[in-house]
Structure formats: C-alpha cells, structure tokens
Amino acid sequence: MDKSALQIARSEYKPKMPEALRGPVKLVEGEATQSVADQEEIQKLFPSTYGQPVIRFERAKEQKKYDPINVGVILSGGQAPGGHNVIAGLFDGIKNINPKSRLYGFILGPGGLVDHHYMELTADIIDEYRNTGGFDMIGSGRTKLEKVEQFEKGLVILKALDIKALVIIGGDDSNTNACVLAEYYKSVNAGVQVIGCPKTIDGDLKNSMIETSFGFDTACKTYSEVIGNIQRDCNSARKYWHFIKLMGRSASHIALECALQVHPNVCLISEEVEAKKQTLDDVVTEIATAVANRAAQGKNYGTVLIPEGLIEFIPVMKNLIAELNEILAAHPEYKMIRQNEQRNYIIEKLSKENAAVFSSLPEAVAMQLTLDRDPHGNVQVSAIETEKLLAEMVGKKLDEWKQSELYVGKFATQTHFFGYEGRCAAPSNYDADYCYSLGIAASGLIAFGKTGYMASVRNTTAPAAEWIAGGVPITMMLNMERRNGEMKPVIQKALVDLGGLPFRTFAARRAAWAIQTDYMYPGPIQYFGPTEVCDQPTITLQLESSSKEK
C-alpha cells in the first residue's frame, strides 16, 4: 500500500523497551493474590486460575531452548493507538522463543475465533503495520466470549491450527472474557493458554499493577491538540462558547487529562458530579455561572469539556438509567412498538420518581436513553448528545438571568464530540514503546506456560530501559457487578480518584481558569526530537507516579 512520508519514517522507528526483556529472561513469582472484592464468589467461579502470583521478568544468564509454538491473537472492542505494536511485539517475542513459531490473527475480533475466520501473520504483514494506528491489520469486533458453545467452537479451530496460546487485546470487558475463557480451557485440559493485554483509550483499565491502558496517551494528546486549536480560534474570534464532549463512558480520565493539558474554562468530572450528588440543574448552573462571570469582563467566549458518560453519573439520571436497563431487558417487545408510543410505554413501566425525571427530559434526549444497549448491557452514551443538551440548557438559564439582570452578555455556542478522531491515531512514542513491550511480555508469559494473566509493564515514567515487565492474574482485578439483570464477574473499572493528585491539581487551578484565558496549545504529537518533547507520558501518569514516590 502507498505510504505517507510520516508512515515511511515511522516504520523505521525501533521501540524502546525494558532492559529485562532484551535477551534471555527468567520469571520471578510474587505472593499469591486475591480478587479486589467478592473473593468467595470469584474463587468459586475461577477455581483453576484464582490466586495465582504476580510475575516479574528479569534478565537471565542464558537462553532456554523452546519448541516452536503457534499463537493466536484477537483485537477486541474499540480501537486504540498502539494495537499493531502489541502484535508486532508478540510476533517478535515468539520468534525469539523459536524462529519456527507462528502467529495467527483472528479476523474482526472474538467473532473470528468462533466463526473460524483467520489469517497467518507473517513478517511481511507485521512490518507493514509497525508503529501505525488503527486495528486494520486484522480488524476488531465486540462479540462477547461468554458461552461454552463459543468456547468449544473456538477450540475446534485452535486445535486445527495447533494453537497453544491465545492473546486477547482488549479493555476491561474483553479481558474479563479472556479470564473466563482461560478458566474454561484450563478446567477441560484444552491445552490452550489465554493471555490478555490492557487496551482502552478511556484509561479506566488500571490498578496497582497496570499503570495505564494503551492508547490513552495518544488519544489524549490527539484530543488536546484539537481542543488547543479550538481554544486558539476561540481566543481569536471571541464570540463562541465551545461545548466539547470527549470519550469516557465510565470514567472521566480523558476529560481530566485534556484539562490538565489545555486549561479550559470549565471541565466537568463525572465522578465529582456523582460525589456531590449534583442535579442536572446544578451542572447547568455551574457552567452558566462561569459564562456570566466572563461576560462581566467582556469575554463572551470560552470552552467547556464534558465526559461522554456524564449523564450516567448524575444521581437521578443514574437511577433512571438503571431502571431503564431492567425494563428494556425484561421487555424486548419494546422495539416493536410504534415510535410515537414508545415514550408513554416507558413512562408507564417506570417508578413514579423515575417517570417524572424521564418526562422532564427533552424528547430527543429521553429517547436516546432507550436506544439498544451495547453487547455488555451498557447504555450507548456516545449517542446521547450531552454537549447539545447542556449548551441549550445553559442558554435558557442565561435568558432567565438576563430578565432579572443577573447576566449581561452574548451567548453563542458551537458543539463538538471528539471520539473517533483519537481512536486510530498513529501512536505516540510512549504508546509505541509501551505496546511493543506488552507484546514481548505476553510472549514471555506464553513461554513460561502461564494462563489467565494480563501482560503488565510498569514504572513507565522512568526511561524505558528501567520499565518493569511481567504479568498480573486477571482474577486479581475482578469483582461482581450487575450486568443485563444478572450478577457477573467483571474487571473493576478505575474511576477518577477525587483524592488523587491529578484531580487535586486540576481542582486547585480550575477557579482561575474559569475567569482567566489561560489556554494552553499543546500542538500535534511529536515523534522526532528531544526526549522531553517526544517521550513524555501523560500528565496524569506523571502526577500519579510522583504521588506514589512521596
């Protein structure tokens, strides 16, 4: 395929990696682990893989000899920058184990395993995709692996290809599925290892052993560049308030990181809204107050950052959505009802309190809340136009204040949703390096016969040579949550810690940002140049790391 000058140059980039992964490695095991919550239930569900130790790789004196091994790989869920480098690292890793090892990619996600759609990934193919964005090497999909029938269908093709290990690259739900699959294959002595890799631009797959999910760094830098461009335009034209919705269904990590990078006038953090038990009107009043205060200085312009999952964190809305989830799961006939009758049908099924909230919403937003859930049973918050809802409601609030002379100014808006723009960007140096190391670490876990683990690379605010690679038992991250009307084991999401240094740093400065025009313009991702320009991790990760050191 034709390549741009940047693609050609990037294809020559050699990812930096932990010194421990260069050459022969040995495996060091830590203490036995337990799940983050609901230990008794999780142990019952995962008797074969529960309690395994955390693993660290260290340099060994000599290379062990390994037989060739065939490995399968799946890209699962939404795209995230760096996925191709995980596959490249995995490919190089298993070839280092034995040059006759082979790698097979399952096409369009977990569905490719179940439906037996695959391709062998050779050196020529891998080399085409090194350091590139997207998942187009083999595609991705959102099929959930949760039924024995699927496991058995997958096992047929794994046996036919003599695949001894399967690597699933995905987010919290995909890695939960990987854990379930690992448990099943081990319980039936299938002879297939299952390893996960932490992917999601949302940044909510992290814990004490997983510092960050890959793609978060690149996505935040991509969004921050565009927000910075908008802020430059905002400060030039001085006539619009820009309402910008950002990815982050369950957590506000992207909004927080972008705020730290660009210094907007307002940034909402869903977790804080929930903690303060704010109503929708409280949120609108907060934004309107910032608009009015700037208007008093003659500044009728500004920027507002909004996490896409905000609606679910407003307590009354969260209660409404939870009941809607139950109703939609119990009444599949809802889809067959005429569109003009759907709203009343839902209102009749809701409790009195939630019916009142649902009735108060603009019809378009109310109906967006009833759209089909995603495969994991979650409301499709990206379809809810929160940025337009808030812009409209702030406008109405300001009109009310105008009549009582509480506000004098002009209020014109532009709305934006930055989502797909960041998911397939060419990975930053950080993500290119981190992902390649994850792939190498996954190959190491395979070589040592491990299953039910997630590849882990830590200490990533240090130079890459000092990074710590290893593996974490996926059961260590599990808890029980209600999904589609049932209690299910899932990886516990990492939400924004309101007591953590990243949020406290933001909170200490936002009052000044609201009044001043203290915009930052990060510019595009830099791939070449001084390390302090090209290789820096996110501000969030730097602050979290410095907090741990203290």
If asked whether residues 100 and 21 sit together in one domain, one would say yes
Is residue 41 assigned to a domain? yes
- What H or E segment, with its residue span, contains residue 169? strand 163-170
Is residue 540 assigned to a domain? no
Give me the residues paired with residue 305 across strands: 244, 267
Residue with tokens 């999904």: 483
If asked whether residues 242 and 312 sit together in one domain, one would say yes
Stated length of the chain? 550
Is residue 536 assigned to a domain? no
In Å, what is the CA distance from 195 to each residue of 78, 95, 456, 530? 19, 17, 11, 35
| 229: CATH | 3.40.50.460
Q: Residues 228, 231, 237, 241: what is their CA dihedral angle, to the nearest 10 degrees? A: 140
Is residue 458 assigned to a domain? yes
If asked whether residues 318 and 454 sit together in one domain, one would say no
Whole-number pLDDT of residue 1: 63
Smallest CA-to-CA distance from 273 within 309, 325, 227 is with: 309
DSSP state of 444: H
**Tally of domains in the chain:** 2
If asked whether residues 320 and 283 sit together in one domain, one would say yes
- Label residue 364 exposed, middle or buried (CB < 10 Å: 0-12, 13-18, 19+): exposed
Statement: residue 475 has pLDDT above 90: yes
Whole-number pLDDT of residue 3: 85
Is residue 2 assigned to a domain? no
Those residues whose C-beta lies under 8 Å from the C-beta of residue 368, and which sit 6 or more positions away, are 383, 384, 385
| 475: CATH | 3.40.50.450
If asked whether residues 411 and 431 sit together in one domain, one would say no
If asked whether residues 345 and 259 sit together in one domain, one would say yes
If asked whether residues 305 and 453 sit together in one domain, one would say no
If asked whether residues 46 and 127 sit together in one domain, one would say yes
Confirm whether 282 is a catalytic residue. Answer: no
If asked whether residues 176 and 153 sit together in one domain, one would say yes
> Domain of 136?
17-215+427-491
If asked whether residues 198 and 221 sit together in one domain, one would say no
Task: Find out whether 411 and 292 touch, Cβ atoms under 8 Å.
Answer: no
Is residue 518 assigned to a domain? yes
Task: Find out whether 240 and 234 touch, Cβ atoms under 8 Å.
Answer: yes
Statement: residue 75 has pLDDT above 80: yes
Q: How far apart (Å, rounded) are the C-alpha atoms in residues 323 and 406?
A: 38
In Å, what is the CA distance from 199 to each residue of 48, 213, 446, 453? 25, 5, 19, 14
Whole-number pLDDT of residue 365: 81
Which range is least confidently modeled, 373-382, 394-403, 489-498? 373-382
| Tokens matching residue 134 | 């997207």
Is residue 498 assigned to a domain? no
Whole-number pLDDT of residue 404: 82
Confidence of residue 550 (pLDDT cuts 50, 70, 90): low
Is residue 166 assigned to a domain? yes
From 92, 172, 173, 202, the catalytic residue: 202
If asked whether residues 77 and 208 sit together in one domain, one would say yes
* Per-residue model confidence as pLDDT tens digits over 427-451: 999 999 999 999 999 999 999 999 9
If asked whether residues 81 and 187 sit together in one domain, one would say yes
* Per-residue model confidence as pLDDT tens digits over 481-539: 988 778 999 999 999 999 999 999 999 999 999 999 999 999 999 999 999 999 999 99
